[in-house]
Amino acid sequence: MSQLTALEHDSYPAEQFEDTQQQSLAATLGMWTFLATEVLFFGVLFTGFYMYRMRWPDAFADGAKDLKWYLGGINTAVLLGSSYFVALAVEAARSGDRRRIVRNLLIAIALGVMFIGIKFTEYGIEYHDHLVPSLNFSSVSPEGQPRATQEQIFMTYYFVMTGFHALHMIVGLCVLAVIAFFARRGKFSAAYHNPVEIAGLYWHFVDLVWVFVFPTLYLLRHP
């Protein structure tokens, strides 16, 4: 099976499926089911965050002010750009354009790596500003302003939410790299490109999560 061309691969579904259409639908349904569980996971984090924010609005607003909103904004633009190029890669896959698939995926990967780089730079700044709970959190900012004790809860949610998002990003980058590798070897065609679409679904989900994470953590600066 590994030596079949993309067109031949499309003609021979796995033995548990009746035809290639059923195989493709099963793969897509499987990804949507997985993404539904991820929505539940992040939904719990968002629910907990907003419950605590309603209890300590001032401390959470101060926590948002201690974050570098412009770095979060840049990362939002970077991630939206990467999602755009993934969409172009999916469109190229549907038309069987191997070179465009690879080119667009490589651009998306480069933007994803840029996102991770900016995020870890931001973590470094927050460490320097003594904002890491249970490690070096200080009740006084570098400018000498007092910090509420409850701001540690805000920063805990910040690191958990952005950390898990970054982990999903790293997994997504690995997936896109594998898809780009197989595309370069001619494994996909206009007839068979479901793996590209599945990878695109995952990447767009990661993008969508950040669209909610960014305003929740960075922009809610008033009680």
* pLDDT range class, residue 11, cuts 50, 70, 90: very low
Q: What is the mean pLDDT of the chain?
A: 89
User: Which amino acid type is present at position 157?
Assistant: Y
Question: In total, how many domains does the chain have?
Answer: 1
Domain ranges, residue 179: 42-219
The answer to whether position 101 is within a domain reads: yes
Q: Is the pLDDT of residue 13 over 50?
A: yes
Q: What would the pLDDT profile of 20-51 be if each residue is shown by its tens digit?
A: 566 677 767 888 898 999 999 999 999 999 99
Q: How many residues does the chain have?
A: 223
The answer to whether position 65 is within a domain reads: yes
The answer to whether position 175 is within a domain reads: yes
CA distance 211 to 77: 10
Q: Is the pLDDT of residue 168 over 70?
A: yes
CB 76 within 8 A of CB 210: yes
Please give the structure tokens belonging to residue 169.
């990003």
The answer to whether position 104 is within a domain reads: yes
Which region among 10-14, 107-111, 202-206 has the lowest average model confidence (pLDDT)?
A: 10-14
The answer to whether position 205 is within a domain reads: yes
The answer to whether position 99 is within a domain reads: yes
* pLDDT range class, residue 15, cuts 50, 70, 90: low
Q: Which residue has the higher pLDDT, 103 or 189?
A: 103
Please give the structure tokens belonging to residue 221.
């600066």
CA distance 78 to 110: 10
How many angstroms from the chain centroid is the CA of residue 64?
Answer: 21
The answer to whether position 12 is within a domain reads: no
Average of per-residue pLDDT across 91-120: 96
CATH number of the domain at 110, please. 1.20.120.80
How many angstroms from the chain centroid is the CA of residue 95?
Answer: 26
Q: What would the pLDDT profile of 174-195 be if each residue is shown by its tens digit?
A: 999 999 999 999 888 888 888 9
The answer to whether position 21 is within a domain reads: no
